[in-house]
Amino acid sequence: MSKDQDANKAENEPDGLRAGELAVELPERFDASLYFIGHIQTPWKRRADCPKNPREADAICTIIVAPRWLAALEGLETVTHLVVLYWMDRARRDLVVQAPAHYAERRGTFALRSPVRPNPIAVSVVRLLGIDNNRLSVVGLDCLDGTPLLDIKPYFASTDSVPDASVGWHAALKRRTG
């Protein structure tokens, strides 16, 4: 059986796992709960349209903060970059090993930025263009239109920026695939 056939077969299996992927039984109960504090407007209506990573995302997106939290934006206009947390609400949560379609090899969930993870919280660093009442214009998001918002934080270069950090498996992949 060719690799392609094998992948097709796995994708058609009833549990939706690709070859080499591994799911675990989820815990019986949750431990904490979240409020959606707003949502994100982006140009991407379907997952297939989303940029593969924020580096490729130069579209201006709009973060809409629910009116209840408006006063919490005070002082944010002095900040150049934000850490935005949002909820990837369409992702399954039980995979511990994944074989993303665009990588040849399987990888542990915590070694990936995939939306599929026990707690599907995305962390994105964005550039703040401006604030108009409860609407923030930003560049650097790659999520679906309507994605629920969890948090906004100021980005501190002193603690958040590590220019020489590396992800070994990703660098090796790039060396091989060019």
Q: Are 117 and 32 in contact (CB under 8 A)?
A: no
Output 8 or 130, the one with its CB closest to a copy of itself: 130
The answer to whether 81 contacts a copy of itself (rule: CB under 8 A) is yes
The answer to whether 101 contacts a copy of itself (rule: CB under 8 A) is no
Site string for a copy of itself, 132-151 (x = CB under 8 A): --------x-------x-xx
Output 12 or 148, the one with its CB closest to a copy of itself: 148
Output 19 or 154, the one with its CB closest to a copy of itself: 154
The answer to whether 152 contacts a copy of itself (rule: CB under 8 A) is yes
Q: Using the rule CB under 8 A, which residue among 10, 59, 79, 139 binds a copy of itself?
A: 79
Q: Which residues pair with 63 in a beta bridge?
A: 40, 136
Query: Concatenated DSSP letters for 100-158?
Result: -TT-SS-EEGGGS--S-SSS-EEEEEEEEEEEETTEEEEE---PPTTEEEEEEEE--HH
- For residues 69 and 86, give the distance between their C-alpha atoms in angstroms, rounded to a whole number: 16
Output 45 or 52, the one with its CB closest to a copy of itself: 52
